[in-house]
């Protein structure tokens, strides 16, 4: 089987190793958005781009564009890439695989003496992981000039400082971002391809090296929700008089589980996750009825109608529990993103390249969000290639095999070289 040429594959392997060595923060790696780790990664990509003779540009938000000029530069360009930030103590491949696949594909074109018909730009997108700032697709939305100005006031989870402050520290232009300055125009993009590790077990169980994504889930999220009741003595307050915040939240959890069951019976795909739940350590005690519990709620689906249905059920459950339990829910600010349908024609081209290798490619949806969604929803033909990954993502044990990565990068190279 013909895979990525060795010089390009070796370049990617070397950069993966360097990223791991320079951004390790045990037990995993940490590349904080607009922080030291992300900056290290961006500097590495700039260094390699110079060695490959690529043109370098940086937009107001710090997104990095590395361009191999095409023969007909007036044509709309290919863009290939992903993000370089990570979650805290995450794995080395999430995001970075997409940027390195783009560089490897361009390096392979260079090594073969192939000048593509149109420009090929490798993009390193800022701040995809919303664990740092509570804003979905921060970097890619800024690239199109559609990031709300209010996002500049969002605070980074670890430092408490605003996005505006972190951008200014790096010499970027937050005022231009707030004003909606756009670097990318959909009409000037021929297509966007992102390579990303799969974040679940499907490809491993299907024994397929890659997946071709049909659509990306949208979401609604409540990151700072609370259920408020009344503290009381655990032995002195009878059940009928309790306003137990934990019990109120437990009823919401089980109620939404029943909603999820009903959705699956109707053939709908969704996920409902209470990722953080906590009582107040300054107030809670073994012998207290809990008066407050904080939680976050993350709901995802490829269908806007399904998201709306779940949100309606959430509102119904909250009202019923408040009345029955004497508690009050404060869900806080709602954030989220829109679902995206990916381009079938571009996916067919990638599938044809996979067959020519030949390798098996599985069509599948993505329950996790990706910057590809922003490109697709701006009207850009967009595709997302998943690479088999044995141990999930957002953890130190990501285990993508480089042979599978090479298959994905070679498929990208063939697509770029053909047009």
pLDDT digits (tens, 9 = 90+) for 175-234: 999 999 999 999 999 999 999 999 999 999 999 999 999 999 999 999 999 999 999 999
pLDDT recorded at residue 2: 63
Query: Going by CATH, does the domain composed of 6-217+339-418 fall within 3.40.630.10?
Result: yes
d(CA 163, CA 179): 15
- Lookup: tokens for 394: 């957002």
Is pLDDT at 1 greater than 80 in this prediction? no
Contact call for residues 195 and 385 (beta carbons, < 8 A): yes
pLDDT digits (tens, 9 = 90+) for 110-120: 999 999 999 99
pLDDT band at 3 (very low <50, low <70, confident <90, very high): confident
Whole-model pTM?
0.89
pLDDT band at 418 (very low <50, low <70, confident <90, very high): confident
Q: Average pLDDT, whole number, for the chain? A: 96
Query: Going by CATH, does the domain composed of 219-337 fall within 1.10.3720.10?
Result: no
Domain boundaries, the chain: 6-217+339-418, 219-337
DSSP letters, 187-239, are GGEEEEEEEEE-SSSHHHHHT-SEEEEEEE-EEEEEEEEEEE---EETTTS-G
**Scanning the structure block, which residue is given the tokens 């989870």?**
157
Contact call for residues 140 and 369 (beta carbons, < 8 A): no
pLDDT digits (tens, 9 = 90+) for 137-184: 999 999 999 999 999 999 999 999 999 999 999 999 999 999 999 999
pLDDT recorded at residue 87: 97
382 membership: H or E segment, kind and range: strand 382-387
pLDDT recorded at residue 259: 98
pLDDT digits (tens, 9 = 90+) for 41-53: 999 999 999 999 9
């Amino acid at each position: 089987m013909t895979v990525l040429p060795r010089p390009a594959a070796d370049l990617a392997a070397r950069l993966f190793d360097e990223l791991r060595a320079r951004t390790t923060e045990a037990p995993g790696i940490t590349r904080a958005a607009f922080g030291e780790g992300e900056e290290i990664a961006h500097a590495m990509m700039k260094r390699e781009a110079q060695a490959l003779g690529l043109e370098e540009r940086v937009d107001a938000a710090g997104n990095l564009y590395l361009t191999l000029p095409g023969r007909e530069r007036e044509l709309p360009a290919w863009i290939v890439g992903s993000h370089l930030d990570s979650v805290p103590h995450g794995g080395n491949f999430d995001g970075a695989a997409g940027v390195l696949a783009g560089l490897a594909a361009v390096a392979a074109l260079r090594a073969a003496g192939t000048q593509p018909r149109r420009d090929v730009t490798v993009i390193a997108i800022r701040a995809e992981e919303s664990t740092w700032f509570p804003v979905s697709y921060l970097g890619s939305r800024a690239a199109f000039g559609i990031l709300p100005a209010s996002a500049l006031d969002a605070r980074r989870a670890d430092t408490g400082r605003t996005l505006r402050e972190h951008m200014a520290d790096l010499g970027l232009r937050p005022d231009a971002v707030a004003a909606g300055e756009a670097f990318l125009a959909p009409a000037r993009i021929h297509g966007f391809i992102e390579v990303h590790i799969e974040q679940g077990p499907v490809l491993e169980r299907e024994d397929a090296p890659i997946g071709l994504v049909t659509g990306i889930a949208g979401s609604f999220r409540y990151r700072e929700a609370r259920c408020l009741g009344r503290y009381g003595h655990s032995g002195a307050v009878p059940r009928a008089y309790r306003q137990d915040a934990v019990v109120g939240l437990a009823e919401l959890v089980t109620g939404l589980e029943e909603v999820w069951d009903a959705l699956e019976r109707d053939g709908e795909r969704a996920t409902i996750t209470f990722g953080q739940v906590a009582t107040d350590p300054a107030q809670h005690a073994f012998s207290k009825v809990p008066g407050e519990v904080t939680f976050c709620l993350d709901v995802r689906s490829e269908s806007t109608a399904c998201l709306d249905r779940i949100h309606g059920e959430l509102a119904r459950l909250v009202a019923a529990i408040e009345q029955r339990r004497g508690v009050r829910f404060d869900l806080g600010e709602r954030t989220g993103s829109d679902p995206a349908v990916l381009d079938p024609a571009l996916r067919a081209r990638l599938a044809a390249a996979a067959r020519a290798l030949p390798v098996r490619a599985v069509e599948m949806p993505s329950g996790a969000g990706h910057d590809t969604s922003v490109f697709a929803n701006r009207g850009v033909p967009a595709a997302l290639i998943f690479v088999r990954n044995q141990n999930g993502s957002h953890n130190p044990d990501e285990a993508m095999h480089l042979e599978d990565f090479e298959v994905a990068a070679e498929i990208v190279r063939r697509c770029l070289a053909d047009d």
